[in-house]
Structure 1
Amino acid sequence: MKNGFFRGHGLGNDYVVMDPTELTFTLTPGKIRGICDRHWGLGSDGILALVPSKKADFGLRIYNPDGSEAEKSGNGLRIFARYLHATGKTKKRAFTVETKGGLVSIALHIDRHGDAAAATVEMGRATFQPSALPCTLSVDELIQQPIEAAGRALQFTGVSVGNPHCVIFKQAGETWTREELLALGPVLENHPLFPKRTNVQLAVPTGPKEIFILIWERGAGETQASGSSSCAAASAAVRLGLVKGPVTVKMPGGTLNIEVARDFSLTMKGPVAEVARGALSPSFVRTLR
């Protein structure tokens, strides 16, 4: 199908999957913004593009709705895996995917209808080193480092899980509000400490093996859920001794389960849903710039 798409979501974090070989146009930043626009386009938290890979079974490029490129996305990987299975591009239940943020292994969980209703993803290893994000602070690890945003003096833990994250915790029993996310998120995303910008999680421990997070994604803004954010926040919570693994990460969109190994290798398991398949209309494609 020319200019075809597959739409799916992971806990409300929605992506459009496309095969560039089936498009009559190139996925430039401007065209990506047009497709992802929720009023004038198809609407999406990003675009997942199937690309060739010499290192894995499949290659994946991940584009944010502002046209920039992301290294890795946990929800995006689950959606991409369901797309591969649902469209017959693979009959395997386990395969590898190459992203800009590293190679990942995915195992599908097939329901009684034959759908890949959930997936387990080996997300790689978390690191707290400044060079991995990058971050301009001259410290060995980004553990509870000071940062100022929106007139507030805060402490953050910086984590890379193949893409950058800034995690800020409140104490157990306290809460984060959406208003705080909308105030702090864009400031922290574009903070001078992070020359390539960063994803942001406002987190609080809610049990011995459980945390709750609000999410501001680099290039996308507020999202209902995020797999890589869940991995980053879970690894930071374990590193700070706030919780023990495996960690249940609760978000406005739902819950993911994150296993954090002793070396901070991360395994994510969660649901994934297909929403629609279709094709962009020729008249819409002509409006893309």
Structure 2
Amino acid sequence: MADARIPFLKMNGLGNDFVVFDARQASVALNPAQIAAIGSRDSGIGFDQMITVERSSAGAYAFMRIHNRDGSQVDACGNATRCIGRLLLGEAGLAAVTIETNAGLLHAFARESESNVAVDMGVPRFDWQSIPLAEEFADTTQIELQIGPIDAPVLHSPSVVNVGNPHAIFWVEDIDAYELDKLGPLLENHPIFPQKANISLAQVDSPREIRLRVWERGVGITLACGTAACATAVAAARKGLCERDVDVHLPGGAIGIEWRASDDHIIMSGETEIEFEGLLDLETLKYERTAAGDAVAEPVS
């Protein structure tokens, strides 16, 4: 009987974690229920997104397919692009590689170390139809949306932007003062967002520093979300709250975002980590670790 086990990598970018399959030689076809089972932090490997690296049909080095933990497919994930960029840069021995995604072609390039990778996330979209929204808003730096009583809303007037996926950013004085685990699902599924939305709470500490918490659609609260960091930095610059080059501090760590003035492209850079290598049994969905990743084990005394 053929071995039903396939290799995978467990990676993360600032705690935003992924299971990565190389499907360039043999396809990896998993249904939403299987993806959810593998993604479970209680009984599976556990991840925010599952990534399959496939052959590109657009002349890129590879195609990156992204599934959320609930099995839904999404078009973009900045931290995943940085992680896959790290793998492909090392494989190709190049200073830069182009990765095809459903959101378009993204360019990853090396920074000062193997683990630090930057990605050109392209140009953000602000038009209400491109985000998309269910109704027209001429000004997407803030839209009419609130949670709570009309005269004393808990959250209100978010900025909205598409960075490969839709984002809504609520500007608050203290990101820890809100129950994001309760507010996130309500806002993610609000009728104003026909494709749902990633929900962020943003606290501007200075013109160069932003603190951020994110409820990611199809995932929940996450330690880091690269596209949310991009969306927040761009929205802050549009509102005159920050400069175009900022550090966004998430629970998993800081990520650098530059909204380049010369062409409006967003450059995102930060650390990546390979946690471990493993084998997944496609029949039972059980897995085993086969090798350690970047972390060096402490010596046993």
TM-score, L = length of structure 2: 0.86
- The number of equivalent residue pairs is 278
**Which amino acid is the alignment partner of residue 157 of structure 1?**
S
- Asked if the contact 1:150–1:184 (Cα under 8 Å) also holds between the matched residues in 2, the reply is no
1:103 is matched with which residue? 105
Query: Aligned partners of 1:4, 1:178: CA distance in 2, in Å?
Result: 42
Name the SS of the counterpart of 1:139 in structure 2: coil
- Asked if the contact 2:118–2:267 (Cα under 8 Å) also holds between the matched residues in 1, the reply is yes
Per-residue deviation at 1:175? 0.5
Name the SS of the counterpart of 2:144 in structure 1: strand
Per-residue deviation at 1:26? 1.6
Query: Aligned partners of 1:24, 1:52: CA distance in 2, in Å?
Result: 10
Structure 1: gaps spanning 5 or more residues: none
1:95-244 equivalences under 5 Å are 95-109=97-111, 111=113, 116-151=114-149, 152=153, 154-170=156-172, 174-177=173-176, 179-244=178-243
Larger Rg: 2
Q: Structure 2 vs 1, CA of residues 282 and 103 (structure 1 numbering), >3 Å: closer, same or farther?
A: closer
Per-residue deviation at 1:32? 0.8
Per-residue deviation at 1:256? 0.6
Query: Aligned partners of 2:266, 2:246: CA distance in 1, in Å?
Result: 11
Query: Aligned partners of 2:55, 2:231: CA distance in 1, in Å?
Result: 28
Does residue 256 of structure 2 align to residue 257 of structure 1? yes
- Asked if the contact 2:37–2:285 (Cα under 8 Å) also holds between the matched residues in 1, the reply is no
Percent identity over the alignment is 34
2:292 is matched with which residue? none
- Asked if the contact 1:128–1:142 (Cα under 8 Å) also holds between the matched residues in 2, the reply is yes
Query: Aligned partners of 1:93, 1:178: CA distance in 2, in Å?
Result: 42
1:280 is matched with which residue? 280
Out of 79, 82, 86, the position equivalent to 1:82 is 86
2:7 is matched with which residue? 4
Query: Aligned partners of 1:150, 1:82: CA distance in 2, in Å?
Result: 43
Query: Aligned partners of 2:180, 2:130: CA distance in 1, in Å?
Result: 24
2:267 is matched with which residue? 267
- Asked if the contact 2:23–2:53 (Cα under 8 Å) also holds between the matched residues in 1, the reply is yes
Per-residue deviation at 1:143? 1.8
**Which amino acid is the alignment partner of residue 51 of structure 2?**
L
Query: Aligned partners of 1:135, 1:182: CA distance in 2, in Å?
Result: 23
- Asked if the contact 1:3–1:24 (Cα under 8 Å) also holds between the matched residues in 2, the reply is no
**Which amino acid is the alignment partner of residue 211 of structure 1?**
I
CA offsets 1:135-162 (integer angstroms, 9 cap, x no match)? 0121233121121225535101110011
Structure 2: gaps spanning 5 or more residues: 288-301
Per-residue deviation at 1:178? 6.4
Query: Aligned partners of 2:232, 2:126: CA distance in 1, in Å?
Result: 12
CA offsets 1:211-248 (integer angstroms, 9 cap, x no match)? 11100101000001111110000000000000112111
Per-residue deviation at 1:253? 0.8
**Which amino acid is the alignment partner of residue 76 of structure 2?**
K
1:67 is matched with which residue? 71
CA offsets 1:179-236 (integer angstroms, 9 cap, x no match)? 4312221111100000110111100110111111100101000001111110000000
Query: Aligned partners of 1:26, 1:229: CA distance in 2, in Å?
Result: 28
Query: Aligned partners of 2:24, 2:97: CA distance in 1, in Å?
Result: 21
- Asked if the contact 1:3–1:23 (Cα under 8 Å) also holds between the matched residues in 2, the reply is no
Q: Structure 2 vs 1, CA of residues 169 and 91 (structure 1 numbering), >3 Å: closer, same or farther?
A: same
Per-residue deviation at 1:169? 0.6
Which has more helix, going by share of residues? 1
1:91 is matched with which residue? 93
CA offsets 1:11-56 (integer angstroms, 9 cap, x no match)? 1110010023566862221111111111111111110111121221
